[in-house]
Amino acid sequence: MILNKRSKKRIKILIIFILSVSLASGLIIYALSKNMIYFYTPTQVINGEAPLNTPIRLGGMVMKGSLDKDPNNLNISFYINDSKNKVLVNYKGLLPDLFGEGQGVVVSGVLNERKNLQASEVLAKHDENYMPPEVADMMNKEMIGINKDDYK
């Protein structure tokens, strides 16, 4: 088959295009698979659905009366609960302004044992009425019949 000059060039462009796009897609998919963080509820964690020593996100309510701040350093611990179970969270650092007992929260960190999460980040909420969609969703699924206002 004899190709004219123009078609040859088009094929070259196409090859370059396909090569660069597949290279980039490979890179993107690799980066995505390395950086996906799964979200779990306390019940899922207690049931052993969440992996140990892998970054995860945990969401729920900050259990009332569970917040414990060390007066001598920035170590903080509290429980995150849902309707059935609770998980202990340890964190060192400053908390966001709208963090409080009885409020919805999402933390990211690593489970070092089944009931204990070492948090690296406590996610800020930006409005007291705002609830992370994951938490709102979880509450709708699990806490039907419970007055949402109790958790404000």
**Applying CB under 8 A, does 28 fall inside the site for another protein?**
yes
Least distance between another protein and beta carbon 43 (Å): 14
- The answer to whether 56 and 106 have CB atoms below 8 angstroms apart is no
Q: According to CB under 8 A, which residues from 53 to 72 bind another protein?
A: 57, 69, 71-72
Least distance between another protein and beta carbon 65 (Å): 18
CB-based contacts of 111, cutoff 8 Å, min separation 6: 45, 50, 51, 52, 53, 54, 56, 117, 118
CB-based contacts of 124, cutoff 8 Å, min separation 6: 96, 97, 98, 99
Closest CA relative to residue 82, chosen from 152, 145, 143, 144: 143
- Cβ-based nearer residue to another protein, 34 or 145: 34
Q: Which residues bind another protein (CB under 8 A)?
A: 6, 9, 12, 17, 20-21, 24, 27-28, 31-32, 34-40, 57, 69, 71-74, 92-95, 97-98, 106, 108, 123-124, 126-128, 130, 132-134
